[in-house]
Structure 1
Amino acid sequence: MTGTHAPVVLLLAQAHDRDAAAVAEHLPASRTLWLDDDWLRRGDGLRWHLDRTGLGGLVLAGRTLRPAEVGSVLVRPAVHDGPDGLLTEYLLLPPPGLDDAHLEVARREAAAALLGALSSGPARWVNAPAVESAAGYTLHQLALAAEFGLAVPATIVTDDGAALTAFLADHGGEAVTKAVDSASARRMPVTLATRRFQEPDLRALADAPPRVTLLQELVPAAYDIRVTLIGDETFACSVDNPPGDGPLDWRLDTSLRPRPCPLDDHVVESLQRMRRRLGLAYATADLRMTLGGTAVFLDLDPRGAFAFVEERTGLPLAAALAALLLLYASR
């Protein structure tokens, strides 16, 4: 690693991001550079250049670095209302005053410039956006979970209404539906959560243009399990989420209190194998423990939130993630 100073840990996150703030508390200030989504709009500047010898230079928010001096990067994009009324992720907000026709191009160009500049150095990412995008495919996750020996729920994805009707009938007239790609859930007017799917939903689909829909059997739960994977470390907590009319996603109910819980060694190893196969340094996974004692894999989020879990359970998640970023930066 070149440079006279210890490699920098770069935080790409909104100014008030709870997860990034929790991690920053465990990082030395002298080695931490936090770039929020608004720094370009403030005029703080971005510059990257390549000279004829192949050596590059990088200026981020007034700080001059060689790409090699950035040791690790934590990526937590901000989510804002886009010009089309849909939630949109922003690593960098584009300059004000652009019309809608140019806003998306400016957003993408700014993000590509930042990510491309950082990718020209040896920094290790938590997680690289391109890797997260590929890891977010629900069907790939389910196939990997089954390959590594985890129990998975019966699932169908199709635009065939008759097949959806048959699946629903085979599972007692009730299933759940969720996004096929985790990024899709963030391109809606409101965040798209897992929800119940019943006969009236079939009728609504029949009246709409055909579209690909995912249905999954509703797994009766003794309790839910949230697993946070930080490098090779695994942290698990359980949540009593009684059946009924409450949300399937326990995170939507702030009255529920998770607590640390043990996790079977086979489940831990299978989830870690999934993380490594997907190329992720960090991920969260949601499982349901059945009444018969089987942990059923539901999905994996390459960018799952963790600060709220630490606040409710006391698990040292932020410290573990900070330690991973510092380890990455030292290599």
Structure 2
Amino acid sequence: MTDPRPVLVVTNLDDPTADLVIAELHDRGTPVVRFDSGDFPATLSCCAFIGGDVTQWRGSVQTPTRTAELGAARSLYYRRPSGFAFPHLDAQDARFAAAQARFGLGGVLTSLPDCLYVNHPNRIGDAEYKPAGLAAAATCGFAVPPTLITNRPDNARSFIKQHGPAIFKPLSVPLYLVDGKAQTVPVADVSADEIDEAVTGTMHLFQARVDKVADVRVTVIGDRVFAVRIDCDLLDWRTDYSVHTYTPVSAPAPVERAIFAYLRHFRLVFGAFDFALSRSGEWTFIECNPSGQWAWMEPPTGLPMTAALADLLERGTRDRRT
């Protein structure tokens, strides 16, 4: 008998990765309810009740075309929803309304009974802190490059002189617009003489540059590991996807053990890990994105990542292993 419980997909309208997974689920006859929490309250509504004899949230979220019962979701794929916006309110009232939406609607969506989260929004939030990720990586047994996080120029200069060549990378990349166009902040080489008093203005991450011959992106979906070697001559391979060569590889056993220890630490069932591969074959941990992209690697490698993610969402809590 077909399981009538839907898979919830929470993301923005323009998300081709989610589109692939939803199409796969539709082809299997698995019901899907997609919505963007950022559409609240314009085209998304919610009503939830608990108390008395009711010990789990009851109610629904509703879009113009779909209704999802809160207690019926088998899994929730939390991708990249847009933020709450209240353009009809003044700034102070909009901040208040956004807080109510975050802790009200957001709180309900993070408390669904018997639901597998891929990943749980709170766990995503924990894992997005780079300092926490690096600390967990070191504890779990990964090789981690020497790293300094500071707003003190003298400490930054000393670190670069001791551990250089070094790179600078942002600790987080919020929306950054130049002439109305979204920009990325790439990883960049940095020398000690480039450090000035501007460093005092906020926290910065400096890291010893790994002498690498290639990069490796490892996408973990439930208990399945998809490792892809990325060959290019770029310091930051994300700055130009047109020059890459992709090759499926196998992660060494110690790396794979550390990967699953890391996922257990943050209680994640999905993770996109980045490694630098040295000439000697050592895999050095760079970061893990709990909401990382993966779909662009599927066509050139043939790795069945869409199917694996659909499998995980379709099984729901029957596949809770991490």
TM range, smaller chain: 0.7 to 0.9
Q: Aligned with 1:238: secondary structure?
A: strand
Relative distance call for 1:112 and 1:19 in structure 2 (3 A) is farther
Q: Offset of 1:49 from its aligned partner? A: 3.1
- The one-letter code of the counterpart of 2:189 is R
The corresponding residue for 1:223 is 214
The corresponding residue for 1:31 is 31
Is the Cα–Cα contact under 8 Å of residues 58 and 67 in structure 1 kept in the other structure?
yes
Relative distance call for 1:137 and 1:165 in structure 2 (3 A) is same
Rounded to whole Å, the distance in 2 between the matches of 1:279 and 1:208 is 34
The corresponding residue for 1:82 is none
Q: Aligned with 2:259: secondary structure?
A: helix
The corresponding residue for 1:10 is 8
The corresponding residue for 2:107 is 116
The corresponding residue for 2:60 is 58
Structure 1 unmatched runs, 5+: 79-88
Relative distance call for 1:207 and 1:214 in structure 2 (3 A) is closer
The corresponding residue for 2:135 is 143
The corresponding residue for 1:84 is none
Is the Cα–Cα contact under 8 Å of residues 149 and 204 in structure 2 kept in the other structure?
yes
Relative distance call for 1:192 and 1:103 in structure 2 (3 A) is farther
Structure 2 unmatched runs, 5+: 178-182
The corresponding residue for 2:239 is 252
What is the 5 A alignment of 1:72-91? 72-78=75-81, 89-90=82-83
Counterpart of 1:155 (choices 125, 147, 170) is 147
Rounded to whole Å, the distance in 1 between the matches of 2:308 and 2:69 is 27
Are residue 192 (structure 1) and residue 190 (structure 2) matched? no
Rounded to whole Å, the distance in 1 between the matches of 2:158 and 2:71 is 56
Q: Offset of 1:65 from its aligned partner? A: 4.5
- Give the aligned length: 306
The corresponding residue for 1:317 is 305
Q: Aligned with 1:185: secondary structure?
A: coil
Q: CA RMSD in A?
A: 2.5
Q: Offset of 1:64 from its aligned partner? A: 4.7
Relative distance call for 1:153 and 1:330 in structure 2 (3 A) is closer
Q: Offset of 1:289 from its aligned partner? A: 0.7
Rounded to whole Å, the distance in 1 between the matches of 2:287 and 2:173 is 13
Rounded to whole Å, the distance in 1 between the matches of 2:266 and 2:278 is 26
Rounded to whole Å, the distance in 2 between the matches of 1:233 and 1:207 is 44
Rounded to whole Å, the distance in 1 between the matches of 2:199 and 2:285 is 31
The corresponding residue for 1:241 is 232
Are residue 130 (structure 1) and residue 122 (structure 2) matched? yes
What is the 5 A alignment of 1:30-49? 30-37=30-37, 39-40=39-40, 43-49=43-49
Q: Aligned with 1:312: secondary structure?
A: helix
The corresponding residue for 2:180 is none
Q: Offset of 1:117 from its aligned partner? A: 2.2
The corresponding residue for 1:277 is 265
Q: Offset of 1:167 from its aligned partner? A: 1.1
Are residue 94 (structure 1) and residue 85 (structure 2) matched? yes
Relative distance call for 1:208 and 1:156 in structure 2 (3 A) is closer
Relative distance call for 1:59 and 1:133 in structure 2 (3 A) is closer
- The one-letter code of the counterpart of 2:73 is V
CA deviation string 1:149-173 (max 9, x = no partner): 221101112222222111111234x
- The one-letter code of the counterpart of 2:140 is F
Rounded to whole Å, the distance in 2 between the matches of 1:288 and 1:278 is 22
Relative distance call for 1:112 and 1:77 in structure 2 (3 A) is farther
Rounded to whole Å, the distance in 1 between the matches of 2:20 and 2:162 is 45
Relative distance call for 1:51 and 1:270 in structure 2 (3 A) is closer
Rounded to whole Å, the distance in 1 between the matches of 2:306 and 2:129 is 26
CA deviation string 1:52-107 (max 9, x = no partner): 432622242265554220111011124xxxxxxxxxx52xx434423333334433
- The one-letter code of the counterpart of 1:315 is L
Runs (4 or more) in structure 1 with deviation over 4 Å come to 62-65
- The one-letter code of the counterpart of 2:76 is V
